Structure 1
Amino acid sequence: MKKKEIETLLAHHAEDRHAYHGAVVPPIFQNSLFTFKDWDAIDEAFDNRIDRYIYSRGKNPTVKMVEEKIAMMAGGEKAQLFPSGMAAITASCMHFLEPNDHVITIKNVYGPANNLLTNYLSKKMGITTTFISGKEVSAFAKAIQENTKLIYLESPSSAVFSLQNISEIALLAKKHGIKTMIDNTWATPLYQQPLAMGIDLEVHSTTKYMGGHSDLVGGVVIGKRVDVDAIFHHEYELLGMKTAPMEAWLLLRSLRTLPMRLKQHQESTMKIAQYLEGHAKITKVNYPGLPSHEQYELGTQQMNGYTGLLSFQLETNDIEKIKAFFNGLELFLIGVSWGGHESLIYAPAISYLKELSPEQFTAMGISLGDIRISIGLESADDLLNDLEQALALI
Structure 2
Amino acid sequence: MPPISDRTRLISSATRRGRGRRPVNPPVERASTMLSDDPARMQEGSDGPVYGLDGTSAARELRTLLADMEGAADAFLVPSGLAAVTVPLLALLRPGDEVVTTDAVYGPTRRFLTRHLAARGVGARFHPADASTDAILAGIGPQTRILLIEAPASLSFDMVDVPALAAACRARGVLTVMDNTWAAGLAFRPLAHGIDVSVQALTKYVGGHSDILMGGIAAGAPEVLRALTHAIEDMGWHVSPDDAWLALRGIRTLPLRYQAQARSALQVAQWLQTRPEVAQVLYPPLPGSVGHELWRRDFDGAASIMGLVMKGGDTAAAHAFMRALSLFGMGYSWGGYESLVTHETPQLTHRLHAPALPGQLLRLHIGLEDPVDLMNDLEGGLAGWQAQLNA
Q: 1:104 aligns with which of 100, 104, 107?
A: 100
Of residues 318, 321, 324 in structure 2, which corresponds to 1:322? 318
One-letter identity of the residue aligned with 1:337: S
Taking every aligned residue pair, what percent have the same amino acid on both sides? 32
Distance in 1 between residues matched to 2:55 and 2:13, nearest whole Å: 19
Q: Which moved more, 1:111-120 or 1:129-138?
A: 129-138
Comparing 263-272 and 2-11, the one that deviates more? 2-11
SS at match of 1:119: helix
Deviation readout 1:260-306 (Å, 9 max, x if unpaired): 11111011101100011111001111000111114211111110111
Aligned to 2:205: 209
Q: Name the residue aligned to 1:78.
A: 74
By how many angstroms is 1:318 displaced? 2.1
Aligned to 2:3: 3
Where does residue 37 of structure 2 map in the other structure? 37
SS in 2 for 1:392: helix
Structure 2 counterpart of 1:4, one-letter code:
I
Where does 1:368-387 land on structure 2 (aligned, <5 Å)? 369-387=360-378
**CA deviation map 1:129-169 (0-9, x unaligned):** 23332541101221111111000001011001111101000
Q: Give 2:262's match in structure 1, choosing from 252, 266, 276.
A: 266
SS of match in other structure, 1:220:
strand
* Residue 159 to residue 361, structure 1, CA distance change in 2 (3 Å): farther
Q: Which runs of 4+ in 1 moved over 3 A?
A: 14-21, 364-368
Most deviating of 183-192 and 127-136: 127-136
Structure 2 unmatched runs, 5+: 387-391
CA distance, structure 2, for counterparts of residue 104 and residue 346 of structure 1: 28
Q: Does 1:23 align with 2:19?
A: no
Moved more, 75-84 or 23-32: 23-32
CA contact (8 A) 1:347 1:368 kept: no
User: What's the CA shift for 1:232?
Assistant: 4.8
Which stretch shows the higher mean deviation, 284-293 or 358-367? 358-367
Q: Following superposition of structure 1 onto structure 2, how do residues 319-358 of structure 1 map, counting pairs within 5 Å?
A: 319-350=315-346, 352=347, 358=349
| 1:162 match | 158
SS of 1:157 mapped into structure 2:
coil
In the TM superposition, residue 215 of structure 1 has moved relative to its aligned partner by: 1.1
| TM-aligned CA deviation for residue 128 of structure 1 | 3.2
Whole-angstrom distance in 1 between the partners of 2:228 and 2:240: 15
Specify whether residues 223 and 160 from structure 1 end up closer, same or farther in structure 2 by C-alpha distance, changes over 3 A only.
same
Q: Give, in whole Å, the separation in 2 of the partners of 1:246 and 1:366.
A: 43
* Letter matched to residue 108 of structure 1: A
TM-score, length basis structure 1: 0.92
- Call closer, same or farther: CA 1:81–1:15 in 2, change over 3 Å: farther
**Structure 1 residue 15 displacement after superposition:** 6.8
Deviates further, 208-217 or 24-33: 24-33
C-alpha distance 123-366 of structure 1, shift in aligned 2 (>3 A): farther
Provide, for residues 207-238 of structure 1, a one-character-per-residue CA deviation record: whole Å limited to 9, x for no partner: 10111111111000001152564245322122
Distance in 2, matches of 1:374 and 1:245, equals: 28
- Whether 2:297 is the aligned partner of 1:301: answer yes
2:159–2:291 CA contact under 8 A, matched in 1: yes
Specify the SS of the correspondent of 2:62: helix
Q: 1:390 and 1:42 mapped to 2: Cα distance?
A: 61
Question: For residue 198 of structure 1, what is the aligned residue in structure 2?
Answer: 194
Return the offset for 1:120. Answer: 1.3
Q: RMSD value over aligned CA atoms? A: 2.0
| Aligned 8 A contact 1:101 1:148 in 2 | yes
